[in-house]
Amino acid sequence: MIKGAFFVCSSVALLWLFLFAGCRKEDAPIPETPGGTVAFYIEHQVDDKPLTRNELIYTNAAGNAYLITDLIYFISDITFWGPNGTKKVIGEVKDIFYIDEDIAGTKTLIFPDKIPAGSYDSINFIFGISEAKNKSNRFLNPPEAIMGWPAVLGGGYHYMMMNGKWLAPTGLLMPFNFHLGIGQLYKGNDYNVDSIYSFVQNYFTVTLPGSSFTMAANEQVRFGLTMHIENWFENPHVYDHNYWGGAIMQKQPAMQMAKENGWNIFSIRRL
């Protein structure tokens, strides 16, 4: 009887100890790391002046007089790099951002993700959408849905639609669609979709010089992010509308040039 009573008492004592420890654990949540938020305010410029659309006032490095009618694109996987390779990638709520010169609200990006307080060495992001994420039917509603890239040409979505017109040698204004997305490789010398034998991922990483910053707890750090449109056409490749014509969706060499020219299309400054 004494042994049985001792066993029961010991069991009850252990149960109370377990319950007490569980309550103490619930009452002491792990404190959150102090942090703040980041916002991008996006603008588009040509030759260091705000973009003016539908006016034939620009000339690129090839000597093409041109105008811009539409500018729409995606950026994604925005990454803040801390010391020793640590990083914070925006994506808790949203990881792909649609930007449209026609829709003012898309040019202000206030990221809801909490960024840990501290110092950061640089910022980068993907221009376009990575292969893993660029899947057809990801966006079912406008405005993002209008960016669909034809399935026969690789599917997914445009990285960018920049539309405009250039003054051809004939003296006529000719339309151009400077569109970036998944490229194709063709057998032979034509662009017959039946001769496609491979696809090319043309998204690329934009690294922003001068993007280091320090963030205090509960601070919102604001940046101005500027696209310099003329850079699409000049460095390291001089892009000539007279040579490439009005549409490049099936011209991988032209998209490759644009991709390689994209290394310095953006600059950033702290506001």
Q: Tell me the per-residue pLDDT of 17-31, one tens digit each, with 9 for 90 and over.
A: 444 444 444 555 545
For residues 223 and 39, what is the distance between their CA atoms, to the nearest angstrom?
Answer: 6
Q: How many domains does the chain have?
A: 1
Q: Dump pLDDT digits (tens) for 105-148.
A: 999 999 999 999 999 999 999 999 999 999 999 999 999 999 99
The answer to whether 12 touches 93, Cβ cutoff 8 Å, is no
Q: Which two tokens stand for residue 41?
A: 């305010």
Query: Which residue reads 């539309």 in tokens?
Result: 163
For residues 181 and 248, what is the distance between their CA atoms, to the nearest angstrom?
Answer: 10
1 pLDDT above the threshold of 70? no
The answer to whether 178 touches 68, Cβ cutoff 8 Å, is no
7 pLDDT above the threshold of 50? no
Distance in angstroms between the alpha carbons of the first and the last residue of the chain: 79
Beta carbons within 10 angstroms of residue 143's beta carbon = 13
- Given this model, what pLDDT does residue 9 score? 40
Task: Fill in the amino acid letter for 232.
Answer: W
* Residue 38 forms part of a structural domain: no
Choose among 127, 162, 147, 123: nearest CA to 39: 123
29 or 264, higher pLDDT: 264
* Residue 36 forms part of a structural domain: no
Structural domain range at position 76: 53-270
Q: Dump pLDDT digits (tens) for 190-227.
A: 889 999 999 999 999 999 999 999 999 999 999 999 99
Beta bridge partners of 175: 165
